[in-house]
Amino acid sequence: QVQLVESGGGLVQPGGSLRLSCAASGTIFSIYTMGWYRAAPGKQRELVAAITSGGNPNYADSMKGRFTISRDNTKNTVYLQMNSLKPEDTAVYYCNANIMSLISTFPMDYWGKGTLVTVSS
């Protein structure tokens, strides 16, 4: 089975930076779009950023200029570099990937369990 595991979350002060990582493993044939979503306390999950298999990114408006998504296809890993963090960025960040597995006919969406990012003084 395919698994996504996030890492890199933690406590950071406003204005600080963090880099999140998400590694996909398992019966993978191809990984298409990968992305990051977040769920702030009491709020619905929202898109943070996504990146195609070719490396083309897109961002939610509130993240533009502060966050950078990237991926390393040799490692099946997607990253989210977060700079100039604000308290409102506090959320559980979830990794998402559209993956064609070795045991499926069509690609499917997979989710990690999330990593908590807390921005506070």
Q: Give residue-wise pLDDT tens across range 66-112.
A: 999 999 999 999 999 999 999 999 999 999 999 999 999 999 999 99
* pLDDT reported for residue 62: 82
Q: pLDDT grade, residue 20 (50/70/90)?
A: very high
* pLDDT reported for residue 108: 96
117: tokens are 């990012």
- Residue type for position 94: Y
* pLDDT reported for residue 63: 84
Average pLDDT over residues 14-34: 97
Evaluate if residue 25 carries a pLDDT over 90. Answer: yes
Q: pLDDT grade, residue 115 (50/70/90)?
A: very high
Residues of the chain above pLDDT 90, percent: 95
* pLDDT reported for residue 110: 97
